[in-house]
Amino acid sequence: MNAVRTFLDSQPLFALFLTIAVGYLVGEINIKRVALGSGAVLFVGLAIGALAPKSAPPALLGTLGLLLFLYGIGIQYGAQFFRGLTSREGMKANAAACLGVIASGLVACAFIRFGITLADSLGMFAGSGTSTASLQVAIASMKSNDAAVAYSVAYPFGVAGPILFIYALNVALKVKINKPPARLLETAEIALRNSSLFGLRLADLSTRLPAGVAIAAVRRAHHNQLPTEDFTLRADDVLLATATDRILLDEATALCGELQPGRIASHREDLDCMRVFASNPSVVGMALGNLRFPDGVNCSIAHVRRGDADLLSTPDLILEAGDRVGLLVNRAHQASVRAFFGDSIKTTADLSFICLGIGAAAGLLVGAIPLRVPGLGAFSLGLAALLLVALCLGKARRSGPFVWVMPLSANLVLRNLGLTIFLAQVGISCGPKFIATVGTAGPLLLLYGAVTLLVLVGTTAVCCLWVFRLPFDTSVGVICGATGNPAILAFANRIAPTDQPDIMYAMIFPSMTIVKVLFVQIAIAIAAS
């Protein structure tokens, strides 16, 4: 065992990747269809760190991993974040998380009556919420490192506790959320038989069709053609209707006439189907309604495939790098259309390192700016500011020649790699400190830290599920944002495999970081008065 310890101590990179490999192996273990996933990397890291205290890679490596994770989350969910802030659900989610954070802070401070110091209480509060920014404020304001001891005790609880809580909550409520099926494009060729629609403009017909149904092409007089808004319908026109729901197409068929499959698809001399990758920087980040095809090219965008989902082509849909664009176009124009969109599969995994560098640097710069609150002193947001900047860039999509969004595949790889490195580095570095602190601080401090955490997650869960009646997948996302550590989000994504945990995390984490920092500042100011 000594030989293993010595080897690990001398090879921190080996220890890092061993932690990642073993962590993912452990994470794949299923117990009643629940697995820890990448969250297991943290626990394996704690074990390896306890075994070999000097094997921890540099802290900067973990910070870099967290930076990549937060930046990727912000870039992908920027638009949803800002929409959520103005929605009723978003306001409820922020209120629930805020109540949970404040309640845990008050409980942590109440333990002062049982003999612990203010530094220990604030350290437990920061550790249970895995908030490094709060710890930094406590240390700077009190001019002492005393808060770090309680922080190191509560931090592992702040990561492992919410994971166990979410697991227990899922078992108790017997919630089973299946991954939503991929949205696939459905088509229907409908012969116009409804006489009340004869002579109607296509734009007027669109208002009568079920929401989500679009007309991509029309066949008339043995020719397929692209419709315009002022196109006037006639008897026996054949409409190519598209939707991502078969039921909607059935409703459209019942309204317009009868199905005649093959009338358009079997004749491709005028219009043919093709798919191209959106890789040209001049189209990425542009709304479909703002695209200007080359002169003489007559084509129509039928749908956009993003990831595993088909999206209907609407004028406000913004193209992202790696989108697969489905078109109806004359064969003579296909080469021009390919050149217009780029159609390079290689670039679907590329990202602009110029934009990544500018965005990350801007986030770090904002995070380093001291924010002064009258009577409470100054504090900085740290990496929470990086997430805020990334969210703003994700909403903007592009600024002139700078395309901030990344291809979905590149974004997933970047942030999952960052998360994994962060978890491994933090686990290894916290292992010896956790064991040492537990041995010296005694069980009482551990108990106080566990109670502080339980109040945080319990209050947030109760407010989300029973007070505001938010859906389960939204609620676990709010819990992740209130507690803050990405390992909890990774586990929540396995319990609730929808976009909601990621969206809620991106929404709640920055605002709750500010709430935690302000709470620490206010508590210190009150104690000093």
| Arithmetic mean of pLDDT over the chain | 84
Which range is least confidently modeled, 397-401, 442-446, 462-466? 442-446
Element (H, E) at 329: strand 324-329
pLDDT tier, 523 (very low <50, low <70, confident <90, very high otherwise): confident
Strand pairing category for 223-225 and 272-277? unpaired
pLDDT of residue 360: 93
Given a cut of 60, is residue 442 above it in pLDDT?
A: no
Is 122 in contact with 134 (CB distance < 8 Å)? yes
As a whole number, mean pLDDT of residues 229-244 equals 88
For residues 304-315, average pLDDT:
80
Q: Is the dihedral of CA 229, 230, 235, 236 positive or negative?
A: negative
Other residues' Cβ atoms within 10 Å of the Cβ of residue 184: 13
219: β partners: 224, 238
Position 455 confidence tier, pLDDT thresholds 50, 70, 90: very high
What pLDDT does residue 461 have?
96
The alpha-helical segments, DSSP class H, found in 174-243 are: 202-208
Residue pLDDT, tens place only, 409-434: 788 888 888 878 877 887 788 777 66
Instruction: Tell me the per-residue pLDDT of 166-195, one tens digit each, with 9 for 90 and over.
Output: 989 998 998 877 766 666 788 899 999 998
Residues of the chain with pLDDT > 70: what percent?
90
pLDDT at residue 17, as a whole number: 93
Q: So what's the pLDDT on residue 357? A: 93
Q: Quote the CA–CA distance of 191 and 240 in Å, as a whole number.
A: 9
Strands laid side by side in the 309-312 sheet: 272-277, 324-329, 299-306, 309-312
In angstroms, the CA 428 to CA 56 distance is 5
| Statement: residue 256 has pLDDT above 80 | yes
- With beta carbons less than 8 A apart as the criterion, state whether 322 and 353 touch: no
Return the higher-pLDDT residue of 95 and 517: 95
Torsion angle of alpha carbons 330, 331, 333, 336, nearest 10°? Answer: 140
34 pLDDT exceeds 60?
Answer: no
Segment 185-225, tens digit of pLDDT: 888 999 999 988 998 898 888 889 998 898 888 999 888 88
Please give the Cα distance from 324 to 72 (Å, whole number). Answer: 21
The pLDDT value given to residue 108? 93
- What pLDDT, in 10s, does the model give residues 57-109? 888 888 888 788 888 878 887 877 787 778 888 899 999 999 999 999 999 99
The per-residue pLDDT for 466 is 95
230: left (phi over 0), alpha (psi -120 to 50) or beta: alpha
**Contact in structure between 305 and 323 (CB atoms under 8 Å):** yes
Q: Which of 133-137, 170-174, 298-302, 522-526 has the highest mean pLDDT?
A: 170-174
User: Strands 223-225, 377-379: parallel, antiparallel or unpaired by DSSP?
Assistant: unpaired
Say what the pLDDT of residue 98 is.
94
Q: What is the pTM of this model?
A: 0.68
At 437 the pLDDT is 61
126 band by pLDDT with thresholds 50, 70 and 90:
confident
Q: What is the pLDDT of residue 490?
A: 81
**Averaged pLDDT, 492-506:** 85
Domains of the chain in sequence order: 2-174+363-528 (1.20.1530), 186-348 (3.30.70.1450)
Edge-to-edge order in the sheet of strand 238-243: 223-225, 214-220, 238-243, 186-192, 257-259
Confidence (pLDDT) at 476: 94
CB count in 10 Å sphere of residue 42? 29
Statement: residue 158 has pLDDT above 80: yes
User: Which residues partner with 214 through β-bridges?
Assistant: 242
